[in-house]
Every structure is written in structure tokens, then in C-alpha cells.
Amino acid sequence: MNAFVVIDKEAGWTSHDVVARCRKVLAEQRIGHAGTLDPGATGVLVLGIGRATRLLRFVSGADKEYRGEVVLGATTSTLDDEGEVLERFDMRWVTLEDARRAAATLLGEIDQRVPMVSAVKVGGRRLHRLAREGIEVERPVRRVTVERFAVAQGPEPGVFSIEVRCSSGTYVRSLAADLGAALGGGAHLRRLRRTRSGSFGLEDARSMTALERALADGDRSALRAPLDALDLERLVASDAALEDVRHGRGIDPVSLGATGPGPFAVVGPDGGLRAVYELSGDRRARAAVVLEGA
């Protein structure tokens, strides 16, 4: 089985919980996900199944979109509403226009320090495990891109609704904390929901319950073709080129009509994905992933 499935993750599940459940439901051990969602967050979680797991690195790096709420006046140990309150601030004076001006300063390329409560490993140990032991260590700083940071009035005073479009690896709860700091106080995030991951949005996603019911009824329409998940330049290979692809040999992408730097999704005459190729530095492209039956 080589496919992708898009889950609308519910709150309380870890991304690993979803993977484990899908392994059982689909009777397939080779399943991975394209970008962790915190347990308290909901929304789009893309899973690769079978040999499609080898394509996840081309999916996980895609831009993401989120919506959530920023609560002014309190910082927390986790930067969201699941942590302990560390400090409180009187921020009743902050207006919507103040928040929008502050959010504008966080657009473009910015540096983010990885939060202590995260799945990133430092010294071979995950940060969230260290945090639970009360250990704080130096964390890496990542360069990320925030393309959109829209702020609207929230459901109650002191709360703003946000919509974010950002590069992979961006921590939205760090953005919430940074927004609070830019306003001269503190803030944390709540009700985070991922609305899009690369090519897939909420309209493509199913809850675990809905997926299980569909599969039990013989409906496998939730299993998406690998090509659906890849936002890559597509090259149509001739029969002769396909022979090279089947054996993982290098190809000349320009001869197949390539116009960009790659990676390239190489498809057969029937439109089905056969492989993903990357430039190797000598104007030829090498096989990064060759699907079974290419």
C-alpha cells in the first residue's frame, strides 16, 4: 500500500497516537506523519502509508496554516494554555490596532528558539521529557518564515483570534508569546487548529472515527494517491526514461521538460507517480525515491 491519508486530529491525541491507531486500522506498520501537532492542538495531520513514508520529507517541509487564539496577560511554562502560569500582566489597554501593529513586526524571516516543551532532541533526549524533569537546556534557534499573521477581535476581552501561514518548523505558540512581549507584556496560545498542511486542507481531512467507519464499509476513498501530496514540478517520462527510473538510474530532467531546480515528481504516461528525483550537481538528477512497480 502506497498512499497518504489526511486526519483531522482531535484534542488529547498525540501525533504518535494517531499513527499507532492507523497502523492497527490499516494493518500496515510503515506509517509516519508529516509534521507533529501538539496533543492539545487539532486539525490537519498528513500520514504516509507504506512506501509513501519515504516521500514524507517532501511533504513535511511544505507551508502550514493555522488558526487559534492569543490570550493576553499571562505567560505559561508551555507557551499555551496547558502549562503553569509563570507571570501575569495588566494588558487591558491593548487595542486590536495595537495587536495588529505588533503582529506585523513578526512577519517575514524571523529567528525562533525551540520551546522547552517540544519533540526536538538535544543531547539525544527530547526537550519535553527534560522539561517534565525540571531541566532546562540551551535550545537551537531556527530561521522560519511567517507569511501571514492576521489578528482579529477574539471571543472575549483580552483575547485575539489569529490566522497564520508559515514555513514548516514554525512554533505558533512561540509567535503568541512573541506577540505578547512585543505589546509590552506577555501572552499564551490556546485552541490551536491546523487548517492546511501543504496540498491538504481541512476539506480533505477525516476524523479517526470517520476513517474507521469508512474503511469498515469498504470505502477507501480517504487513501490518497502519493502524487496528491506532492507540490513538485511534474515530469512525464517516456517509456525509455521509465526504464532508467525503474532501476533508479540518473536522468536528464531538462530532456523531460524541467524548468525549475527540483525536486521533480516523475510520472508515467498514465499520470501515476513513479519516483521523485533531485538534481545531483552535474545537471543530471538522481533518484531520491522510487516507488514499487515504477
**Would you state the cell numbers that stand for residue 35, as one nine-digit string?**
509534521
Q: Is the Cβ–Cβ distance between 24 and 60 less than 8 Å?
A: no
Do 119 and 190 fall within a single domain?
A: yes
Do 177 and 266 fall within a single domain?
A: no
Do 212 and 135 fall within a single domain?
A: no
Do 183 and 244 fall within a single domain?
A: no
pLDDT of residue 131: 55
Residue 8 lies in domain: 3-62+199-227
Which CATH number fits the domain that encloses residue 260?
2.30.130.10
**Would you state the cell numbers that stand for residue 126, as one nine-digit string?**
527530547
pLDDT of residue 81: 92
**Would you state the cell numbers that stand for residue 28, as one nine-digit string?**
500496515
Sign of CA dihedral 169, 7, 207, 36: negative
Do 91 and 179 fall within a single domain?
A: yes
| pLDDT in 10s for each residue of the chain, 294 residues | 789 999 999 999 989 999 999 999 999 999 999 888 888 899 999 999 998 999 998 888 889 999 999 999 999 988 999 888 999 999 999 999 999 999 999 999 999 877 756 666 666 666 566 556 565 666 678 899 999 999 999 999 999 999 999 998 899 999 999 999 999 999 999 999 999 999 899 999 999 999 999 999 999 999 999 888 888 999 998 888 888 888 888 888 888 888 888 899 999 888 889 999 998 877 788 888 888 655
How many other CB atoms are there within 10 angstroms of residue 86's CB atom? 13
Q: Is the Cβ–Cβ distance between 166 and 178 less than 8 Å?
A: no
pLDDT of residue 257: 85
Do 100 and 174 fall within a single domain?
A: yes
Which CATH number fits the domain that encloses residue 211?
3.30.2350.10
pLDDT of residue 141: 80
Q: Comparing C-alpha atoms, which of 163, 152, 190, 180 is closest to residue 69?
A: 190
| pTM of this structure | 0.88
Active site residues: 38
**Would you state the cell numbers that stand for residue 290, as one nine-digit string?**
522510487
Do 238 and 142 fall within a single domain?
A: no
Do 83 and 114 fall within a single domain?
A: yes
pLDDT of residue 69: 98
pLDDT of residue 5: 95
The residues that bridge with 284 in the sheet, in sequence order, are none
**Would you state the cell numbers that stand for residue 251, as one nine-digit string?**
536522468
Q: What is the DSSP string of the chain?
A: --EEEEEEEPTT--HHHHHHHHHHHHT-S-EEESS---TT-EEEEEEEEGGGGGGHHHHHTS-EEEEEEEEETEEETTSBTTS-EEEE---TT--HHHHHHHHHTT-EEEEEEPPSSSS-EETTEEHHHHHHTT------EEEEEEEEEEEEE-SSTTEEEEEEEE-TT--HHHHHHHHHHHTTS-EEEEEEEEEEETTEEGGG-B-HHHHHHHHHTT--TTSB-GGGG--SEEEEPPHHHHHHHHTT--B-TGGGT--SS--EEEE-TTS-EEEEEEE-SSS-EEEEEE-TT-
Do 261 and 279 fall within a single domain?
A: yes
Do 207 and 188 fall within a single domain?
A: no
When divided into structural domains, the chain yields a total of 3
Do 56 and 70 fall within a single domain?
A: no
Do 99 and 165 fall within a single domain?
A: yes
pLDDT of residue 292: 65
